[in-house]
Amino acid sequence: MHYFEFDPAPPLAAHVSRYWGMTVGAQVPRGFGHQIFPDGCMAIACGRSATGEVRSSLVGPRAEPLTVTVNPGDRFWGVSFWPDAGGAVLHEEPRRLHGHLVAPLTEPVWALTLSRAMAACNDEAAAAGVADEQLAAPVAAAAPLDTIVRAAVVALVASNGEMEIAELARGVGLSLRQFERRFGAATGLNPKQFARIRRMRSALAHLLSPSPRTWSEVAADFGYADHSHLVRDFTQLAGLTPSEAAERVRSIVHGKVRP
C-alpha cells in the first residue's frame, strides 16, 4: 500500500487539515483489514475499487482504531478537517458522531458530490483541484470556530500532546470543567483524549525518520511515564502493541505525511 498527504488551497487551510490518498497494490490479499489509527479529525473518505465501484463515508472523531476492508486495485481519497472545524463545516455536532463511521454517505449533498468527484480522480493534482473547488462554498458557509479551542488544538499539536490540560485551561482563563466542555463541543473528544492521540502519532512518526529510536527512547522523549505507559496507550488507541503498530506502519510506503 502507498499512503500520501497533500495540502488544500490556502483559503481552506484554517478548516481543512490535509487531503490524503492511498492505493492498494496487487501484493495485498483480498479482504485485508487495514487498520487506521485515530488522528482526532473528522474526515470525508471515498474509495474506488478496481471494478469502478465507489464507496463514500464520513468518519467521526474517535479515540480507537478503525478497520476498513481493502482489496488489490482499490484507490482511496480523503479530506481531513482540523479537529475543531469538521463540525463547523458539516454543521454537525461532533459529539454525536464520536466513534461513528457513516457509510454509505448520503448527506450533506455537497459532501456526497465531493466524494464521488474525488473518487473519479487518478492522481493527486486532479484530486486536489476537485476538493479545492468543491469545498470552497461549504467552508465559506461554515459556522464560526471557537478561537479558544483552536488555540488549544494548535498548542497540543505543537507540543506533541505533552502540554498539561490544566495549564491550557488556565492560559485561556477557563476552569478545567469549562475548558473540557468547550473542547468537547467543538471536537467530539475531551482534551486528554486528543493529547494522547497526538502523543501516540508523534511517537509513531519517528519510524519514518532516517534514524528511528528504540521504544525506551521514544517513551522518554514523548513524555510517557515508562514503557508500560507507552504500551497501554498504544493498545487502547491503536489496538496494537507499539511493535505491532511499528510493523504496520513500516509495511506501508509513505509519501509526504505529518503526524
Please identify every stretch of the chain with a pLDDT value under 50, giving residue numbers as ranges.
none
Domains of the chain: residue spans and CATH: 2-140 (no CATH), 147-254 (1.10.10.60)
| pLDDT score of 212 | 65
Our CA angle for 30, 36, 38, nearest 5°, is 170
- pTM exceeding 0.75: yes
Residue recorded with cell 501516540: 200
| pLDDT score of 59 | 97
Alpha carbons 126 and 129: distance in angstroms, whole number: 5
What are the pLDDT digits (tens) for 124-167? 999 999 999 999 999 999 999 999 999 999 999 999 999 999 99
| pLDDT score of 38 | 96
| pLDDT score of 207 | 66
Contacts of 52 (CB under 8 A, 6+ apart): none
| pLDDT score of 208 | 67
| pLDDT score of 213 | 73
Kind and range of the H or E run holding 253: strand 253-254
| pLDDT score of 251 | 87
